[in-house]
Amino acid sequence: MTPVADSLRPGRAPDRLGSRTRALARAVDPLRLAGVAIGVAVWQGLTMLLPPIILPTPAGVAGRLRDDFWSAPALSYYGLTEPNLYGNLLYTAQNVLVAVLAGASIGIASGLLSARFPLVQAGLDPVVMTAGTVPILIAAPFLLIWFGVGRTSAVCLVVFYVAVTLHIFAARAARNVDPIFEQSARTLGAGSRRVLRDVLLPATVPEILGGLRIALAGAWGLEAVAELLGSQSGMGKVIEVLAGATDPQGIMAALLSLGSTAVLADLLAALAVARLTRWSAAAR
């Protein structure tokens, strides 16, 4: 029973810009900044009690991040292709991007299809159920056999994870679409293609994008772990060699750069979600 405000009338470009700035403002709200500040303060406090080999100081980690970001010659000594954090971060980010795009395309398509066609569901459900309950990493040995050591195996692992996650979200979203919308579209003259494009896809967008953000968050961690499978680049590999060298300061600098990148990616995804689901109050 919301009365319609006068401001609804002209809302075009300013409205869009407004939602973007609002989404940005939400992401950097003061409470979050306060949380970060408290976290850093606690960290600083703990460093006074613990030796630096267990817990390096915030300032030390920040300095290390600044130094290592563009140039960390020690990394090439450990056999990494890129002797800096920047290059490895880019490698990891590229893999995540490719894997999320490929995995999302596969998972959304298969999820929507299995919600519509019982035969597809019967074929895919056993695979998805198994993959959804068993830790995905157990697929790693097979991927190593099929694709060998390196980038392909890591990306495939993440593609698989993202596809399974989005399959589940997309199938559930499609089953949740109220049939009245399709019935209404058909009585207005919409054919099957229009029903897909104008009803099924837009109606499922909020839930699917929610799943995409979850898959994206998980993809960073999984990609880093997958890089341990004999890769010569990537943040996972960096952290592995630094752990071997007992370098907690370096590890934390690497984690900080990886974490910030993941947070930034999630922020961009959140902006895209807000842009695409303006119609839905629930998605906000």
Distance in Å, CB of 283 to another protein, minimum:
11
Distance in Å, CB of 74 to another protein, minimum:
53
Q: Do 271 and 24 touch, CB atoms closer than 8 A? A: yes
Half-sphere exposure (Cβ direction) of 207: Cα atoms closer than 13 Å: 21
**Which residue has 């949740």 as its token pair?**
176
Distance in Å, CB of 81 to another protein, minimum:
46
Distance in Å, CB of 187 to another protein, minimum:
4
Task: Report the residue number, 90 or 272, with the smaller CB distance to another protein.
Answer: 272
The candidate with the shortest Cα–Cα distance to 95, out of 273, 222, 256, 259, is 222
Task: Report the residue number, 185 or 217, with the smaller CB distance to another protein.
Answer: 185
Q: Determine the length of the chain.
A: 284
Task: Report the residue number, 199 or 262, with the smaller CB distance to another protein.
Answer: 199
Task: Report the residue number, 116 or 194, with the smaller CB distance to another protein.
Answer: 194
Distance in Å, CB of 216 to another protein, minimum:
23
**Which residue has 């007992």 as its token pair?**
246
Task: Report the residue number, 9 or 48, with the smaller CB distance to another protein.
Answer: 9
Q: Whole-angstrom distance between the N-terminal and C-terminal Cα of the chain?
A: 19
**Count of residues touching another protein (by CB under 8 A):** 31
Q: How far is Cα 56 from Cα 62, in angstroms, rounded to an integer?
A: 10
Q: DSSP assignment of 223-276, as one string?
A: HHHHTTTT-SSSHHHHHHHHHHTT-HHHHHHHHHHHHHHHHHHHHHHHHHHHHH
Distance in Å, CB of 205 to another protein, minimum:
7
Give exposure, 170-201, as e/b (b: 16+ Cβ within 10 Å).
bbebbeebeeeebeebeeeebeeeebeeebbe
Alpha-carbon torsion 263, 267, 273, 279, what sign? Answer: positive
Task: Report the residue number, 145 or 193, with the smaller CB distance to another protein.
Answer: 193
Binding track, positions 254-283, relative to another protein; x by CB under 8 A: ------------------------xxxx--
Distance in Å, CB of 175 to another protein, minimum:
17
Binders of another protein in range 3-62 (CB under 8 A): 3-4, 8-12
Binders of another protein in range 172-231 (CB under 8 A): 178, 180-181, 183-191, 194, 198-199, 202-203, 205
Distance in Å, CB of 154 to another protein, minimum:
37
Task: Report the residue number, 48 or 281, with the smaller CB distance to another protein.
Answer: 281
The candidate with the shortest Cα–Cα distance to 72, out of 257, 227, 259, is 257
Task: Report the residue number, 45 or 179, with the smaller CB distance to another protein.
Answer: 179
Q: ∠ CA(163), CA(159), CA(275), 5° rounding?
A: 65
Q: Which residues bind another protein (CB under 8 A)?
A: 1-4, 8-12, 178, 180-181, 183-191, 194, 198-199, 202-203, 205, 278-281
